[in-house]
Amino acid sequence: MKIKIVRHVVSLCWVTMVVLLLTGCNPAAGATEYEVIDPSGYSRDSYAYDEKSPIEGSSCYFQWEKADDYEKTYDYNIHILDENDSVLYSYPDVGSRVMRGSIQEDGKTWVCAEHWTAPHHNGYVEGWLKESDLLLIDLSDGEILFQDKAGENEFYITTYGTRCYFYLPGKEESEKLFGLIKIPAENAVIYYRDISDWTQKHMVYTFDYVAEPDIDTSNGVKTRVKFYIYKNQLKVAWTSFEPVGNGHWEYLDKKAYEIPITENADE
């Protein structure tokens, strides 16, 4: 019994030491992490460094490649590969090392190339998303049907029809002009942009928190928001990475929100 207790204490101390060391040299340490889980079960988080990413709903893949002038521009190219790894189409200077996408019922494919700046992570850390490029591509001939950008910290989740859904974290109350002007806090939200009026944000859901919901993460070392994508619904689950016994750790659900994303969900 004493041996088991000692092992458990040593395990906790080791994890705590690692977390403290990482915190000391990583400005992104302690920030909330994101994870997206597609209907197929494929998931993407801050530790995914795959050169190829599957296009959800198809047998094709995205592949990133450094542009010819990468040393000057830091741009990436996008390649779309078939199931045999043959290049179907290439698009210069619009890719990134972090790409996701899915095929629609009409055979057209949405691509999101995300530009993150978080050190020691391949994206998916809240507050470190610079911008994203979104493209709608016809896989029958490779034509780009739509192309635009999403701004800072607008985290792309999925697309339904012509609507692209985003999660935007909340903002704490702030001040300007030495406190003379107070800017109220803003809660986290989910909204969509439609390709017919891309500049407009259409609110779908306002969360009951600014930074995070009222959850107990005192036993955890990391907090992660998991975005589960279903056909007509999103599930946003806040989780905490905690010990579950025998030296094992898991992400435990703390609070979840289920949000419909059908065409009439906001009407």
Q: Between the CA atoms of 81, 115, 123 and 153, what dihedral angle is there, to the nearest 10 degrees?
A: -130
How far is 21 from 16, CA to CA, in rounded Å? 9
Query: pLDDT by residue for the chain (267 residues), tens digit each?
Result: 444 444 444 444 454 454 444 445 555 567 899 999 999 999 999 988 888 999 999 999 999 999 999 999 999 999 999 999 999 999 999 999 999 999 988 889 999 999 999 888 888 999 999 999 999 999 999 999 999 999 999 999 999 989 999 999 999 888 777 777 888 899 999 999 999 999 999 999 999 999 999 999 999 999 999 999 998 899 999 999 999 999 999 999 999 999 998 765 554
Q: Which long-range contacts (CB under 8 A, 24 or more apart) does 43-52 make?
A: 44/98, 44/100, 44/124, 45/124, 45/224, 46/118, 46/121, 46/122, 46/123, 46/124, 46/125, 47/121, 47/122, 48/122, 49/97, 49/122, 52/81
How far is 63 from 253, CA to CA, in rounded Å? 33
92-114: per-residue pLDDT in tens?
999 999 999 999 888 899 999 99
Total residue length of the chain: 267
Q: Given its phi and psi angles, is residue 178 left (phi above 0), alpha (psi -120 to 50 degrees) or beta?
A: left
* Residue pair 137/164 in contact by the 8 Å Cβ criterion: no
17 phi, psi to nearest 5 deg: -65, -45
Strands 61-66 and 76-81 turn out to be: antiparallel
